[in-house]
Amino acid sequence: MTTAAILGSSGYSGQETLDRILAHPELELVALGSDSLAGEGAAALDPRLNGNLPRFVTNDEAAAAGADVLFCCLGHEAAAAFEPPDDAIVVDLSGAHRLREAALYPSWYGFEHPAPESLAQWSYALPEHGPVAGRLLANPGCYATAALLALAPLVDAIDPSSVVVDAKSGVSGAGRALKPSSHAGFVLENVSAYRVGTHQHAPELEQELGFPVCFVPHLLPVRRGLLATCYVEPLEDLRPLLEAAYATSPAVRVLPEGLQPELSRVQHTDAAEIALFSDRSTGRAVVVCVIDNLGKGAAGNAVQNANLALGLDETAGLRLTGVLV
Quickly count: other Cβ atoms within 10 Å of residue 256's Cβ.
Answer: 7
Q: What phi and psi, each to the nearest 5 degrees, are found at residue 167?
A: -125, 150
3 state DSSP class of 228: strand
Q: Is 142 a catalytic residue?
A: yes
Single out the residue of 243, 309, 280 nearest to residue 68, CA to CA.
309
Contacts by residues 120-125 (CB-CB < 8 Å, ≥ 24 positions apart): 122/92, 122/97, 124/98, 124/207, 124/208, 125/91, 125/301, 125/305
Amino acid (one-letter) located at 305: N
Spot the catalytic one: 73, 142, 230, 289: 142
Element holding 266 (H helix, E strand): helix 263-266
How many whole angstroms separate alpha carbon 259 and alpha carbon 263? 13
Read off the DSSP letter of residue 296: I
Query: Please, how many CA atoms are within 13 Å of residue 201, restricted to the half-sphere of its CB?
Result: 24
DSSP 236: S
> Cα(275)–Cα(242) distance, rounded to whole angstroms?
9
What is the C-alpha to C-alpha distance for residues 250 and 303, in angstroms, rounded to an integer?
A: 14
Task: Give CA angle at 119 (249, 101), nearest 5°.
Answer: 95
CA atoms within 13 A on the CB side of 275: 17
Q: What is the dihedral of CA 238, 210, 175, 298, to 10 degrees?
A: 60
Give the active site residues: 142
